[in-house]
Structure 1
Amino acid sequence: MTQPRAKFRAPSPVPLPAWRATALWAVVTLGLVVMMAQAWRAQVERGPFLRDQGALRYLRHFALPAQRGPILDRSGKALALSVPVQTLWVDPRLFDAQQARWAQIATALGISAATLAARVRGGGSQFAFLARQRAPERAAAVLALHVPGLYSLHEDRRYYPSGSIAAPLLGFTNVDGRGIEGLELAYNAWLQGKAGEETGLRDNLGHPLALLGAARPAQAGRTLTLSIDRNIQYVAYTALASAVQRFQARSGAAVLMNARTGEILAMVSYPSFNPNDRADYRPGLYNNRAVADTFEPGSVMKPFTIAAALDDGSIRPDTTFNVNTNCFRVAHYCIRDDVRHDILDLAQVLKYSSNIGAAKISLRTPPADLYQMLRSVGFGQVSGLGLPGETGGAVPGWQGWDVARRAAMAYGYGLSVTPLQLAAAYAAIANNGIYVQPTLLRRDSGTPLHSQRIMPAATAARLRDWLTGVTRRGGTGFLAAIPGYTVAGKTGTSIMANGKGGFRKHQVNTTFVGFAPAKDPQLVMAVVVREPTQGWRYGGVVAAPVFRVTMSAALHRMGVQPDTSAQTWTATTAEHLTADQERRWAEGAGDAAH
């Protein structure tokens, strides 16, 4: 028989040591502490750094272009302003897949398919310009095609309402909105402003998805208000262009300024260019000829010769000169007048533009005194306008003047000047002997930037009186006369040097510089027409009518009242001179040009 099984009993559990539970809780607690420390470090200590690193993976900073400041005339009329445009660009990685639609896109852009392909291939692997600065409506027509990889940027384009009338003065900007010529270059830092920045999201291809706001707003460029009057600028330009075209001249320039404040109301050059059409950008037309072109001025220098001689006592106001000769020989040179006269006083030396009379005056004057007079009125140095390309001309040191140079300097040979310098120098005569620094910025105070007395008021007053004779009957500048106003001025016709010690007989520069009203001068103007080839090539015929037309309009524009003591006769205009009148004028009142 089987024996009963023994009853099984489980072994009694062995009790765990108490330290093991404590160790477990210690490990768990330490882990939590480490995790909390790491969380503290990540969120607090390194939080800003990690957030910035994360943002770099999905946030981008987009440039906010600053709008370029406008350029205004003295009345607030726009001479240059920025208008919104759009630039079309493509991502070649996506755009290449749409080649079947390239012909359609090219047609919408107004270019050939080959040109479009060249632009795409000429860009980078991720970016290529398709069309820069298009009108918004034209860009919208292209974007409406919804071509993958085709995008747009908002930009500004510079627009010049006056076109070619003020182009050499204003200059222009490049396609990126930076000034590269004229006032646009000279005041680029003032006009361009400061670009801003905004933050946004981009996808993995770098395309913008959303904008989160401006991190730094753009600061628009500042407004530049000029002393230029747009209406006077227009009249001066059209009058100058008409003269250059009528006499088939090489070029022309003119400057009209306020004799008391130095404010330049008009500064024109011809030929010019259209700054709104980049196809018309030819380097030969960029020059602001009023400050960049120099020339031997001729007889317009005679008033300063007389001023220097009067001031140092070399002559007296009533001194006369015998000019009754066909040849006044100085060294190896023969000085002549176009019209032979007898005894001339100082007023007549200016009225008839006598080279012989001016030479005799200069030979009585210490050369240092004449040199100092020429330098004090601004010749041989830049004006301070800060315009690109401005030149100071040349006045050689008096120590090197021989007797022939002393005589030639008296009637405008042996030195070079600019139209702006002539206007500023004559403004000193008009302004009672005080030279004022020219400026292109509007002067609300009515006072000049800088002024300096360069001749006694009595000398300036005599010159003003004598220069009125130039524009009266029988004077070389009678075509500059303005009905209702007394006009003072001087003509000049200088034969051009050939670079070999001689002159080009048939190539001349013609000039007229004057101011009005002569009794109380307000405005002064210099006109230079270079190398006229048709008609009577004298400053009184070519340049004086430009002065008359422009000065007349400027006097009315500026509200200058007519002078009750002015001559009442009306000068015959150059446009209506008959051949017989031209012949008699040239024989009886032509500029001395030799």
Structure 2
Amino acid sequence: MKREDRSLRVKIYMMLGVYVLLVLLLAARAFQHQVINREVYLKWARDQQLQPVKLVPLRGKIVDRRGNLLAVSLKAGSLFAHPAQVQNPERTAQVLAQNLGLDAGQLLEKLKQPVSFVWLARQLPIEEAEKVKRLALPGIGVEREGRRYYPFRELAANVIGFAGVDSQGLEGVEIFREAVLKGKQGRLLLQQDARGRLLWQELYQDSREDSVKEIVLTLDVRIQHFAEEALRRAIEENGAVGGTVVVMDAHRGDLLALVSLPTFNPNRFSTYPPELRRNRAITDAFEPGSTAKPFALAAALEEGLLNEEVRFNCERGKYFFGGHWINDIHPYDVLTLREVIVKSSNIGTAKMAEILGSQILWKYLDAFGFGRKTGVDLPGEATGTLRHWKSWTTICLANHAFGQGFSVTALQLACAYAALANGGRLVEPHVVHEIRDEKGTVLEAWRPGPERRVISARTSERVRAVLEGVVEEGTGKRAKLAGFRVGGKTGTAQKFEPALGIYSPTKMVCSFVGIAPIEKPEIVVAVAIDEPRGRVTGGMVAAPVFQQVASKALFYRNVDATVPEPASPVQAELFRVAPAAWDLAEPAAAAPVATSQGAVRPDPSLSTLIMPELRRRTVRMALRELEGFPVTVRLEGSGVVIEQDPKPGSLLETGQLVKLTASALGPDG
């Protein structure tokens, strides 16, 4: 009996031990889950219960050198739904469609999706969003996001670029400086049950306005506008397919204007083909033609091999060299080296190249920056092409001297001519002047890089004197400016047809690159017009564009101020300026742009313009500036504008009164 009791006790103890062991194991496991791995399981739970929805942040502003807004983030309202909480999807879709002008069928389709959250429309005008909010529809909500807006529409669009519906930079400065412009991400936090039904929502991280930065560009909207209008007229008048203009400070490399036409409206970028978004000034390479001749001249003068009065037999317009015939448009007998450039003789240039040799000519073309990127702070820059001199044939030497066999961008040409203008220094072009924080403190400013001298100041001066002769008596007469001495070079280059392996007899790139003023250079203007129709030259179609752009740019930069043009006395005269081509406001009736996130609609309330700087301008020029602005102008006095109201950079409303006060003495008395 005692043995049976002992055996029973052993069994009980064993069962008790097993039980205790199991309890200890369970306790250890519970300790592991609840203490050691607590954060892991909490994260799993949060991921199952909480759904964060990213909101579009506010991006930093982009302004021109005078503070005019080029890109800004406006507060917009985005419409969303919790489908499970929508009591009557059909009625809700109809109400929203009637109030917002959206498609009821598409809205209903989204409202019936088996999800806890769905966007119905993104970046609505804030007034429309608030109107929906007041409807208090069950399951429908509105959150504020940032909406990118470009007040000047097409102006400088290929430089500024654009940002997508989720506030990501996609082109131009917007993508190149994404790290600077990108604002702090806002998030909407949703909590849902196991079936995905919404329990509550909370905005737990808002988009921060005080975290964004401002980028100040070197562009000047007035000069940009002048250049765009002049190029647009030239393209239309000559039936060209496109063109580009570069206006650059000859000493600093500031890009004052960078035009590419045809262009697009960044507020509705998705409605335009991708090829219109490219920046032709930096992406399109073409053979420079005769605009390359001054670099061969500079090489010859710098090396001391020739001087301006050396005479060349130009063979009456026909010369056999390197197994090929070289022709001049006009037959010449004997020309000096200066006259070879002024009259743009290919034969004279080829004979100059014979004296230089391939190695020296290539050395200078390379030094002037051809065949490599300029380093401009924009995406997509092309290098152009410049083969090493060791691969040249005999005819390649002549071709490179008069601008065939290698390709350049308009920006590369402008930079090379800037070296001719500023005393022989190759400058690095740039479009960003400085970066500021929300308080206006400068965080980063442009600084010039190490000097890269190409030619001596004396050679620069001698080349400029020859270029002045091109305008005064040669192929560039249509580039003459009233009140200024200028110089430059024309170019007319056949386009190479890769498929046929020949130069096209009808497709040309006509160009002109000029320096103004020639005696004390301030700016370089490069113009290239792609495929103008008919028998045209750079002097015929591109030089006039230079003349129009340079004259206005010099005046606007107060270079060598001229005597005010006469004006009839006018006292308190009212001018009604009718809406015309340069209407900066978004059309209120523009169609929505469909996206995967919903519809993006223009804001009808944004019918605003930006007041230009009119002081120091003649009355005639000031009124011309305001052409296209739907405002009323009150003018007092005559001569030069000395006061204006509103101030430059102010936002104008349709029908607003603009007051101008003018004086015959000008602002300086």
Q: TM-score range by the shorter chain?
A: 0.7 to 0.9
2:153 aligned with 1:163, yes or no? yes
1:142-221 equivalent positions in 2, closer than 5 A: 142-195=132-185, 220-221=211-212
Asked if structure 2 preserves the Cα contact closer than 8 Å seen for 1:486 and 1:517, the reply is: yes
TM-score, normalization: structure 2?
A: 0.72
1:326-365 to structure 2, matched below 5 A, reads 326-365=317-356
Shift of 1:96: 6.7
Which residue is equivalent to 2:94? 103
Corresponding position of 1:366:
357
1:132 to 122, 142, 145: 122
511 and 59 in structure 1: CA distance in 2 versus 1, 3 angstrom threshold: closer
Q: CA deviation at 1:206?
A: 6.8
Matches of 1:380 and 1:469 in 2, distance apart? 29
Whether the aligned pair in 1 keeps the contact of 2:309 and 2:338 (CA below 8 Å) is: no
Following superposition, the deviation at residue 351 of structure 1 comes to: 1.1
CA contact 2:246–2:281 (8 Å) conserved in 1: yes
Are residue 223 (structure 1) and residue 214 (structure 2) matched? yes
Alignment pair present for 1:232 and 2:223: yes
Residues 61 and 144 of structure 1, relative CA distance in 2, 3 Å threshold: same
What is the CA-CA distance between 1:386 and the residue it aligns to? 3.6
After superposition, what is the alpha-carbon deviation per residue over 1:213-238, rounded to whole angstroms, capped at 9, x for unaligned? 76996763211111111111111111
Q: Specify whether residues 445 and 219 from structure 1 end up closer, same or farther in structure 2 by C-alpha distance, changes over 3 A only.
A: closer
Q: Does 1:246 align with 2:237?
A: yes
Contact residue 192 and residue 200 of structure 2 kept, 8 A = yes
Aligned to 1:527: 527
* Aligned residue in 1 for 2:639: none
Q: 1:141-540 residue pairs with structure 2 within 5 A? A: 141-195=131-185, 220-442=211-433, 448-472=448-472, 474-499=473-498, 500-534=500-534, 536-540=535-539
Give 1:548 deviation, angstroms.
0.9
CA offsets per residue over residues 60-89 of structure 1, 9 Å max, x none?
A: 877675421011111111111111111111
For 1:453 and 1:53, how far apart are their aligned partners in 2?
Answer: 61
SS in structure 2 of the partner of residue 526 of structure 1: strand
Q: What is the SS of the residue equivalent to 1:451?
A: coil
Q: TM-score, normalised by structure 1?
A: 0.81
Match of 1:93 among 84, 96, 109: 84
Give secondary structure in 2 for the equivalent of 1:277: helix
Deviation at 1:103, TM superposition (A): 2.3
Q: Answer yes or no: is the 8 Å Cα contact 1:353–1:476 preserved in 2.
A: yes
- The one-letter code sitting in structure 2 at the alignment partner of 1:77 is N
Compared CA separation, residues 347 and 421, structure 1 to 2 (3 A):
same
One-letter identity of the residue aligned with 1:163: R
Cα gap change, 1:129 to 1:50, in 2 (>3 Å) = closer
* Letter matched to residue 478 of structure 1: K
Q: How many angstroms apart in 1 are the aligned matches of 2:208 and 2:484?
A: 55
Deviations 1:102-151 (A, max 9, x none): 22322222123223234445x66122221111101122233333221111
The answer as to whether partners of 1:380 and 1:393 remain within 8 angstroms in 2 is: yes
Letter aligned with residue 121 of structure 2: A
1: distance between equivalents of 2:114 and 2:157? 35
Cα contact 2:286–2:409 (8 A) shared by 1: yes
Partner amino acid, structure 2, of 1:393: G
1:216 to 1:480, Cα distance in 2 relative to 1, 3 A: closer
Partner of 1:15: none
Please identify, of 316-325 and 214-223, the stretch whose mean Cα deviation from structure 2 is larger. Answer: 214-223
What is the CA-CA distance between 1:326 and the residue it aligns to?
2.9
Of 112-121 and 127-136, more deviation after overlay is shown by 112-121
The 8 Å contact of residues 67 and 220 in structure 1, kept in 2 or not, is answered as no
CA contact (8 A) 1:98 1:147 kept: no
C-alpha separation between the residues in 2 aligned to 1:89 and 1:214?
A: 18
> What is the Cα deviation at residue 193 of structure 1?
2.9
Amino acid at match of 1:494: A
What is the CA–CA distance in structure 1 between the aligned matches of 2:87 and 2:356, rounded to whole Å? 81
CA contact 1:254–1:526 (8 Å) conserved in 2: yes
Give the superposition deviation at 1:446: 9.2
- What is the CA-CA distance between 1:313 and the residue it aligns to? 3.3
Q: Which amino acid aligns with 1:511?
A: S
CA–CA distance in structure 1, aligned partners of residues 51 and 280 of structure 2 = 48
- What is the alpha-carbon distance in structure 2 between the residues aligned to residue 189 and residue 212 of structure 1? 24
CA contact 2:377–2:431 (8 Å) conserved in 1: no
TM-aligned CA deviation for residue 200 of structure 1: 9.2
Paired position in structure 2 for 1:4: none
Alignment correspondent of 1:592: none
Contact kept, 8 Å, 1:197 with 1:218, in 2: the verdict is no
* 3-state DSSP of counterpart to 1:165: coil
**Compared CA separation, residues 349 and 225, structure 1 to 2 (3 A):** same
Please give the alpha-carbon distance, in whole angstroms, between the structure 1 residues aligned to 2:212 and 2:114: 31
Distance 1:307 1:537 in 2: 27
Deviation, 1:374, is 0.9
CA pair 61-530 structure 1, distance change in 2 beyond 3 A: closer
AA at the equivalent of 1:497: F
Q: In the aligned structure 1, how far is the partner of 2:172 from the partner of 2:454? A: 30
Superposition deviation, residue 419 in structure 1: 0.3
| Equivalent pair of 2:241/2:531 in contact (CA under 8 Å) | yes
Per the alignment, do residues 61 and 178 of structure 1 end up closer, same or farther by CA in structure 2, a change over 3 Å counting? closer
Shift of 1:317: 3.3
Q: Whole-Å Cα distance in 2 between the matches of residues 215 and 407 of structure 1?
A: 64
The residue type paired with residue 543 of structure 2 is A
Flag structure 1 segments of 5+ consecutive residues without an equivalent: 1-40, 565-594
1:180 aligned counterpart, secondary structure: strand
Paired residue for 1:546?
545
Q: Which runs of 5+ in 2 are unaligned?
A: 1-30, 435-443, 564-669
The change in CA–CA distance for 1:182 and 1:561 in structure 2 (over 3 A counts) is same
Contact 2:183 2:208 in 1 (8 A): no
% identical equivalent positions: 36
Cα distance change on mapping 1:358 and 1:212 into 2, 3 Å: closer
What count of residue pairs does the alignment treat as equivalent? 520
What SS does the aligned partner of 2:88 have?
Answer: helix
CA distance in 1, matches of 2:116, 2:207: 27
* TM-fit CA distance, 1:324: 3.5
Q: Distance in 2 between the 1:365 and 1:50 partners?
A: 75
Whole-Å separation in 2 of the counterparts to 1:556 and 1:208: 65
> Contact (CA 8 Å) 1:367, 1:398: kept in 2 or not?
yes
What is the CA–CA distance in structure 1 between the aligned matches of 2:175 and 2:203, rounded to whole Å? 35
- Residue 260 of structure 1 aligns with an amino acid whose one-letter code is H
Alignment partners' CA distance in 2, 1:524 and 1:98: 63
- Give 1:491 shift: 0.3
